[in-house]
Amino acid sequence: MLSIIAIQELLIQEFAALDNDRELLVDYLIDLGEKTEVLSPSEKVDAHLVPGCLAKVWLVQEAEKGILWLRTDSNASITKGLASLLVRIFSGQPCAEVVHANLFFISAIGLNQFIGIQRSSGLDYMIKSIKAYAKKTCARKINFS
């Protein structure tokens, strides 16, 4: 499995191929979202909703032996694509690495300038939710000082 840093570097390369074209970026995010596994109706419950997101974003988070596993869905295509990026980066990673991860790909791609303030805030809420879950559920034995 690639590290969080290596996955972000791959994302930066993928987005560089879009040549800062807003329309291509949006189409790419929508395409990523369409390729994401759809959650079952039983998983689309309030307990899995990410608070603070304008669109509905369901985030199923599980931990097994200190490894974080994520699945996500959304009722908005672009948001679903954004969530799929986080799943790609964090799912299958050790919780300690998730908690301490620096997500540099967002600024390197210039993602916030393309997706707007509301989606940027939603992306931040998703990241905070993932890191909080990793810290609380997976990483109880880790020293966070």
The one-letter code for the residue type at 115 is I
> Does 53 qualify as catalytic in the annotation?
yes
Is 119 buried (19+), middle (13-18) or exposed (0-12) by CB count in 10 A? buried
94 SS3 class = strand
Radius of gyration in angstroms for the set of CA atoms belonging to the chain, rounded to a whole number: 15
Q: Which of 53, 83, 85, 89 is catalytic?
A: 53
| Contact present, 60 and 43 (Cβ < 8 Å) | yes
Report the catalytic residues.
Answer: 53
